């Protein structure tokens, strides 16, 4: 089955995202391979565990990725894979750090692209994109970042977010959501404010057979 790609622009800043259903030709094999992967706690920003993968994971879809990058991001040559791996959200809400309770960006460089491939069957979940109400920012770059983090520092000191995964927060407005679906991939610039959608129904277990298993990839398309 060939992939079906839908592209759209979101928010006031009209940033492009692409949603590719039936993305990988062997999604079940990918999920099975995660059973033997070496998962370890992620860095302080990601609330769960990760296991590295090699760039060869994307070889069956390299032409599809190239077409998406060319259409959405104006990239006419092959993008470099900076990082790719399995990820599983597994941290209980009560143990989330402050940064894990807020939307975030993965990078501020305009040429950085992120991919999330959903490999779980949960009917809920996905990825949400946000606008910061006080600044109006939907993306961050080196020029915007100081003003954003200064405003956020004041806000969280006055009204700290609850011990929960990002959802409806007074400091932010949701501008778009991409629902999760098995073998659906979403591509977006890493500078977009976003968060994984984690609901009370999400199994927070570090087990690829039962948990919120995804593959996350980061690319340099500059």
Contact predicate 121/203, CB 8 Å: no
Give me the long-range contacts of 37-42 (CB less than 8 A, separation at least 24). Answer: 37/86, 37/208, 39/86, 39/88, 39/206, 39/208, 42/87
Q: What is the pLDDT of residue 79?
A: 80
Q: How many domains does the chain have?
A: 1
**Is the confidence at residue 123, as pLDDT, over 70?**
no
Q: Do strands 48-52 and 194-197 pair parallel, antiparallel, or not at all (unpaired)?
A: unpaired
CATH number for the domain that contains residue 206: 2.60.120.620
Q: What is the pLDDT of residue 31?
A: 96
pLDDT classification of 167: cutoffs 50, 70, 90: confident
pTM of the model: 0.95
pLDDT classification of 2: cutoffs 50, 70, 90: confident
Give the residue numbers spanning the domain of 185.
4-220
29 SS3 class: helix
Distance CA 87, CA 216 (A): 7
**Is the confidence at residue 78, as pLDDT, over 90?**
no
Distance CA 71, CA 174 (A): 25
What mean pLDDT is predicted for residues 88-117? Answer: 96
């Amino acid at each position: 089955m060939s992939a079906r790609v839908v592209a759209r622009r979101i928010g006031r800043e009209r940033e492009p995202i692409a949603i590719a259903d039936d993305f990988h030709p062997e999604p079940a094999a990918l999920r099975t391979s995660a059973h033997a992967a070496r998962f370890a706690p992620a860095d302080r920003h990601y609330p769960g565990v990760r296991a590295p993968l090699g760039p060869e994971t994307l070889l069956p879809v390299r032409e599809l990725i190239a077409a998406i990058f060319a259409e959405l991001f104006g990239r006419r040559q092959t993008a470099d894979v900076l990082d790719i791996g399995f990820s599983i959200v597994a941290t209980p809400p009560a143990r989330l750090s402050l940064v894990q309770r807020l939307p975030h960006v993965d990078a501020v460089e305009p040429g950085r692209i992120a991919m999330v491939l959903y490999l779980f069957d949960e009917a809920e979940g996905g990825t949400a994109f946000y606008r910061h109400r006080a600044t109006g920012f939907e993306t961050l770059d080196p020029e915007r970042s100081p003003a954003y983090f200064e405003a956020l520092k004041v806000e969280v000191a006055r009204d700290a977010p609850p011990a929960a995964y990002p959802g409806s927060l007074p400091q932010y407005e949701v501008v778009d959501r991409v629902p999760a679906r098995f073998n659906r991939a979403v591509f977006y610039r890493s500078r977009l404010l976003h968060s994984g959608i984690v609901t009370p129904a999400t199994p927070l277990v570090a087990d690829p057979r039962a948990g919120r298993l995804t593959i996350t990839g980061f690319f340099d398309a500059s």
